Amino acid sequence: MEIRHLHYFMAVYEELHFTKAAEKLGISQPTLSQQIRVLEDELGMPLFDRIGKKIVVTEAGSLLFSYTTEVFNTLQNVKDSIKDLQGLQGGQISIGIMPSDLDYRITQLVIDFHQKFPKVKLKILASIDIMRQVLENEVDIGIGTNVESDDRLVIIPLCREEYVLTVSKEHPLAQQTVIPIAELEGLPMVMYPEGFLGREIVEEAVKKHGFHIHSILETSSVTSIMNLVRANIGVTVQPYPLLQQMNDPSLCSIRISNGAPSRSLSIIFRVDRYVSQATTAMIEQIKHYFKSK
């Protein structure tokens, strides 16, 4: 069995179409079909059922996919570890982070890291599904929210952050410093859509007090949310450090008492992923950054 056969297999597995897979690989369709047959003959079992123009993965194909994924991850770790012998003079780090934190929280972190290690390329990806990004190797590390224990992950706790009610300075509540969570009931709010973690955290907190938030406008963009609150369209509930970082005099933060929503932040990465010197340096930078906030 050769590595190229596994690459051919993975292409067909992902596309479920021999012609498209062949185009992706830059080879002819007959050549690809012949190479897959060679692999199937070696294994003694079909990897795909060909039903007319439709292709279905067999049980043997699913099993080969699992092991091939592990093989390719191991090969990538070997390449990364050898490249790492060059030290912090190059390479790339990809990081997954919540969109709101990307917009307002980590600019200084990125600046500081780049000044220390200018030859390391950073790739920051916004996502509301960071655990999936990490587990599917789309990013090297993630800054996850309320991450549950998982044997596949290394989890490094960073901090816990409370949410606050955020209103325009023109809002009738703007002069308050504290509001009981029960008094959030009925307030017209601008929030993330249902299914977004930032929305679920707030909903879980108010649900304990017997009500749901009254959402009048929903958007997936924290920038839009803040612009709408600034215009006094409604209020919102967001992490207090986010508001601190924005430092916007047109917005007022009101602490929530009697059970404020909160979130925990953690660095996460796969237990089987090679952690380069550059990535280790970034992890330490992230830990220091959040500790100092």
Q: Could you report the per-residue pLDDT of 56-81, keeping only the tens digit for each? A: 999 999 999 988 988 888 888 787 77
Domain boundaries in the chain? 3-84, 87-158+264-291, 161-261
Give the mean model confidence (pLDDT) for residues 20-49. 91
Instruction: Categorize the per-residue pLDDT at 160 as very low, low, confident or very high, splitting at 50, 70 and 90.
Output: very high
Report the percent of the chain where pLDDT is more than 70.
97
Residue 163 has pLDDT above 90, yes or no: yes
Q: Under CATH, what is the fold of the domain 87-158+264-291? A: D-Maltodextrin-Binding Protein; domain 2 (3.40.190)
Q: What is the pLDDT of residues 193-224, one digit of tens each?
A: 998 999 999 999 999 999 999 999 999 999 99
| DSSP secondary structure letter of residue 139 | S
Pairwise CA distance, residues 275 & 154, whole Å? 11
So what's the architecture of 161-261 in CATH? 3-Layer(aba) Sandwich (3.40)
Q: What pTM value is reported for the model?
A: 0.68
- Residue 70's contacts (CB-CB under 8 Å, 6 or more residues apart) are none
Pairwise CA distance, residues 282 & 213, whole Å? 38
The region, left, alpha or beta by phi > 0 then psi within -120 to 50, assigned to residue 137 is: left
pLDDT of res. 82: 73
Q: Under CATH, what is the fold of the domain 3-84? A: Arc Repressor Mutant, subunit A (1.10.10)
Give the mean model confidence (pLDDT) for residues 221-230. 95
Residue 89 has pLDDT above 60, yes or no: no
Residue 84 has pLDDT above 70, yes or no: no
Decide if 3-84 and 161-261 have a common fold: no
Unique residue bearing structure tokens 């790739």: 123
Pairwise CA distance, residues 270 & 141, whole Å? 8
Pairwise CA distance, residues 35 & 135, whole Å? 30
Give the mean model confidence (pLDDT) for residues 20-46. 91
- Mean pLDDT lowest for which of 78-82, 180-184, 243-247? 78-82
Instruction: Categorize the per-residue pLDDT at 142 as very low, low, confident or very high, splitting at 50, 70 and 90.
Output: very high
- Relative orientation angle of helices 107-116 and 277-291, to the nearest 10 degrees: 140
